[in-house]
A and B are shown apart, each in its own frame.
Chain A
Amino acid sequence: MSDTHPTAARRLDLGATLLTLLSIIAAAIWFFPVYWGIATSLRYDDQTVKDFALIPKDPTLKNYIFDIQNSNLPIWYLNSTIVSVGVTFLVVFMGASTGFAISQLNFPGRKALWWMILASFMVPVSALIVNHFIIIADVKLLNTHLGIILPMLIAPVTVIVYKQFFDGLPKEFREAAVMDGASEFQLFFRVFLPMNWGVTTALAIITFIGAWNSFLWPFLAAQDEMMMTVTVGITAVQDTFGVAYGRVLAGAVLAGLPVATAYLLFQRRVTQAITLSAGIKG
């Protein structure tokens, strides 16, 4: 075609190149706030409001060291890790076992449970925060890791994704395993779970990111500074450090680092988890 219509082909090429260029510029602008935050966090205190060069003239890690030494950041990090790992493990495990039971086993109330889970999709958990607070206060779990974890375990989407996944597997798997004398537990742990390791990883990553990032509940449940998660804590850094922008931004970079890394390492899994939970085949 390029032989017969050289000009048309060239025009198409030029248009495509321009569009690609436009995409790069748009992406750069979109990403700029994140970049600018990182850049500012690497400047000396007196430079944050003077040095507006795109690349810091005299980069330093002083703000990071200051934050780690002079705030509760290390403890918040530990709290966030305990809470997020706990939530991830429990949500994925409960989702998988419940999804397996509903999909593969026959028990009374199975249909009712399934409909209840589907219906709970429509309930805004943020309307329940007040009562979560009352319940957790009642069992004296405010300002504890468990207290922060518990209300975050409501994740019907995970059950739904697992149930649908197990539904899609050929019936022969189960029949063959049962013939071999495997118990239902063995079936679940040895056959069904390993078979969808991909889905499990995807759901685990997205659950971890969500737990790390959640704000409102940890903010209410942990009033004690020593029990705060990083996500909540960095606003306390801001209160203490006031106008020291470099330090505040260094705290923010540290708070966002684990989730950003998790995404960059497992991009395809994150995409898969999002399309799965929206009910689209990715």
Chain B
Amino acid sequence: MLRNRRTEITTALILIAPFLIVYLWLFIWPTLQMVEMSFQKAPLIGKGKWIGFDNYIRMFKDATFRIAVKNTAYFVLLSVVPGTVVALSIAMMVSRLKGRMQSLILAAFFLPYVLPVTVVYVIWDWMTNVQFGMVQGLIVFLVGEPVNIWRTVDWFMPGVAILTIWWTNGFSILLFLAGLRNIPAELYEAAQLDGATRPQIFFRITFPLLWPITVLCLTIQLILQLKIFDQVYLFAQGGQTRSTMVLVQYIFEQAFQKNNGGYSATLAVALFVIVLVFSLLQFQILRIRGQR
């Protein structure tokens, strides 16, 4: 019996070893290293000097950091709630279709989600091209003249938000579809027999039953979009980046372009804390629902 117990432990250790090594080496260790570096004046590669809270004091006085936080928050505001509303509408449209028609329409809405960000960037750069872009027709109709979206500060973030919704919405659509499928058909039949109108059915049955999924989509999107970098970086390339700076981009700039390893670590700790707070919130919500 004791021998069995020992082989069980040995087996377990062999099975978890690869994961544990990767996890300790590339997850726990860099996290600790990041915190340590945030208290140092250090280049990206090389030894640093301990400077206490100087980096943190600098961060709170840093105008660019404030811009980055503001832009990140603005982007989250523009993308999370509108994106979830769009996803819910699409899911409701798709869920009433049947068979092949349904898979075809769903595929059209979902496909952008599996594309690499650079492909999304190339496609939309072409779509919004100030001379030849197909979107410019709509822009001329709205404001009277073509707009170079990625070089106009006021248009930049809304532009990135729209294409991000277009790109990442497939995820939320699938979650909403799963949620809609779990609503028993008898509920709708009963409501119809009682003579309920379409809006009544939506607000009294569909929406309340989908609420947990809505919260899930909102929090997943929120945490994801706080980490925005790729799209903003790609579209701001070659232009004025400071006014459209987001948090991860500022970390990237300080570390790799300005060689301020220490300060970039401080900024990373700030991002870390922000995401952690929202994740704890999400975890709490999930636990209340008893899902995890």
Contact = CB atoms under 8 A, between A and B. Distances in A.
B188 interface: no
B83 to A, nearest CB: 13
B7 A94 contact: no
Interface stretch (A56-64, A104-112, A195-203): A104-112
Looking at chain A's contact residues, the main secondary structure is: helix
Contacts of A245: 126, 129, 132
B116 A98 contact: no
Given A33-B124, A249-B122, A256-B119, A124 B178 contact: no
A259 B118 contact: no
Given A23-B97, A127-B272, A129-B251, A215 B118 contact: yes
B65 to A, nearest CB: 15
Contact of A101 (B15, B112, B114, B223): B15
A240 interface: no
Contacts of A49: 131-132
Contacts of B275: 122-124, 127
Contacts of A93: 18
B272 A23 contact: no
Given A126-B229, A135-B25, A245-B126, A209 B114 contact: yes
Given A27-B109, A252-B123, A107 B9 contact: yes
A32 B8 CA distance: 56
Interface residues of B, number: 92
B12 A107 contact: yes
A93 B26 CA distance: 18
Contact of B93 (A22, A231, A262): A22
A123 B272 contact: yes
B11 A105 contact: yes
B54 to A, nearest CB: 18
A101 B121 CA distance: 42
A31 B111 contact: yes
Contact of A130 (B8, B44, B119): B44
B8 A107 contact: yes
A278 B105 CA distance: 23
28 contacts: A20-B101, A23-B93, A27-B109, A33-B124, A33-B127, A48-B132, A90-B18, A107-B9, A124-B272, A124-B275, A127-B269, A127-B271, A127-B272, A130-B264, A131-B33, A131-B265, A133-B44, A135-B26, A216-B248, A231-B118, A232-B118, A255-B116, A260-B111, A262-B114, A263-B111, A275-B174, A278-B216, A278-B220
Interface of B: 5, 7-9, 11-13, 15-16, 18-20, 22-23, 25-27, 29-31, 33-34, 37, 44-45, 90, 93-94, 96-97, 101, 103-112, 114-119, 121-124, 126-127, 129, 131-132, 134, 166, 171, 174-175, 178-179, 213, 216, 220, 223, 226-227, 229-230, 234, 248, 251-252, 255-256, 261, 264-265, 268-269, 271-272, 275-276, 279-280, 283, 286, 291-292
